[in-house]
Amino acid sequence: MNLCSKIWCRSIQFVFAIGLKILPIRKPEIISGPGKLAELPKFIKSLNLKKPLLVTDKGLMNLGLPNPLLENLTATGLEYAVYDETVPNPTIDNIEAGLKVYTESKCDCIIAFGGGSSMDCAKIIGARAVKPRKAVGKMKGYFKILKKLPPLFAIPTTSGTGSEATVAAVISNSKTHEKYPINDFCLVPHYAVLDPLLTLKLPKHITSTTGVDALTHAVEAYIGRSNTSLTRDMSIKATKLIFENLKTTYDTGDDVQARENMQLAAYYAGVSFTRAFIGYVHAIAHTMGGLYGTPHGLANAVILPYILDWYGKSAYKPLAKLADATGGICEKNDSTEIKAKKFIAAIRSLNEYMSIPTKIKGLRAEDFDLIATRAIKEGNPMYPVPKLMNKAQMKEVLKLLVE
């Protein structure tokens, strides 16, 4: 990357870093603990809300996971509507269909129930509800909504995306296969219900990839250049909890305490990256999700160690600090470089333990230019990464991800 481009990127990042330190970003009100979901209907009623729209997916509905919530809503005297057509990497079509249910059912609040896809879909349904004349594509980027959303209750059923704490929603265009983030302060949910009982029956491959997704949020936020004392603290807490609990949740699905710790880790990481941004891991993962339908957590887990390798010495110092905070990775007299490399090795070891692949299935060399173009467009100039990357350099990294 030439000097002028570097100066431009870093200048934009500096302005945003200052702005995010000054501007207040709402934290959701947390309702946390085993069985807390049962208390939500009465809480909704206490807010004088009449009819929520539940946004979820067919898989969860077929499993019956939302049924106790729906039964409690009815028992509390609340009517509700359901939109359960959300797909992985939610599309503009999902948003418009969900908006139609919200509008025609005369709903006044939204409950997002599921993983990141359901939460992202719910966020933009809310955005469209208050901005009916603004197409989803016009919301792409930063601060294109700027209007208070209907009350939004986020109920994560995985421990990874952190969407219950973030200003972001990621949407796909099913026609162009482009996947892009929409960012606005108003997208932070008003309430987050963290009930670990909802995550007890997660399949192993979901537990593993969503867990490393949360780790990716924490790491990318921490090694970036827009940190504050809050984001550093949240990233360290998240990283420590993940290394202490992810293997347990993978091995023993019914450990409630470990599941609760992973939910907190995902939330902490969400708080961190929504203020300190992410990096090229996410930029590439978003693009692959749109192009190939690669699950977001899986893409992040595979890509993360390769990008950390590429950053090299520019990321050694913060990675060494994460290694120290996590504990058990380094020896007392290890150098900063050795600590950083051991931390990256620990991520690879964690992936291997949980049978996460080292390559991206279906990645084709003929797509490198399109992937690099879209990912660089997302990452530059906004993501305050340790070292800036251009298209040619990204293509070199992509070569390492081919099966």
Pick from 134, 169, 199: which residue ends a domain? Answer: 199
- % the chain with pLDDT above 70: 100
127: domain range? Answer: 33-199
β-bridge mates for residue 388, sequence order:
none
Query: Distance (Å, rounded) from C-alpha 388 to C-alpha 138?
Result: 27
Pick from 184, 199, 214: which residue ends a domain? Answer: 199
Average pLDDT, integer, range 117-135: 97
Query: Distance (Å, rounded) from C-alpha 158 to C-alpha 161?
Result: 8
Both 192 and 276 in one domain: the answer is no
**Residue 294 within any structural domain of the chain:** yes
Both 250 and 353 in one domain: the answer is yes
Identify each DSSP E strand in 184-283 by its residue range: 191-194
Average pLDDT, integer, range 172-186: 93
CATH at 370: 1.20.1090.10
Of 17, 155, 120, 91, the closest CA to residue 290 belongs to 91
The 10s digit of each residue's pLDDT in 23-43 is 878 899 999 999 999 999 999
Both 340 and 220 in one domain: the answer is yes
Both 187 and 313 in one domain: the answer is no
Both 215 and 98 in one domain: the answer is no
For the chain, what is the largest distance between any 2 Cα atoms, rounded to a whole number of angstroms?
65
The 10s digit of each residue's pLDDT in 297-310 is 999 999 999 999 99
| Residue 271 dihedral angles phi and psi, to the nearest 5° | -60, -40
Both 179 and 56 in one domain: the answer is yes
Q: Band the pLDDT of 354: cuts 50, 70, 90.
A: very high
Both 209 and 340 in one domain: the answer is yes
The 10s digit of each residue's pLDDT in 88-105 is 989 999 999 999 999 999
- % the chain with pLDDT above 90: 95
**Residue 27 within any structural domain of the chain:** no
Both 325 and 220 in one domain: the answer is yes
Residue 332 pLDDT exceeds 90: no
Q: Is the dihedral of CA 386, 388, 394, 400 positive or negative?
A: negative
**Residue 165 within any structural domain of the chain:** yes
Both 338 and 361 in one domain: the answer is yes
Both 173 and 255 in one domain: the answer is no
**Residue 236 within any structural domain of the chain:** yes
**Residue 144 within any structural domain of the chain:** yes
pLDDT of the residue at 1: 83
Both 191 and 247 in one domain: the answer is no
Pick from 179, 199, 219: which residue ends a domain? Answer: 199
The 10s digit of each residue's pLDDT in 243-260 is 999 999 999 989 999 999
pLDDT of the residue at 253: 86
What is the reported pTM?
0.95
Residue 201 pLDDT exceeds 90: no
**How many structural domains is the chain composed of?**
2
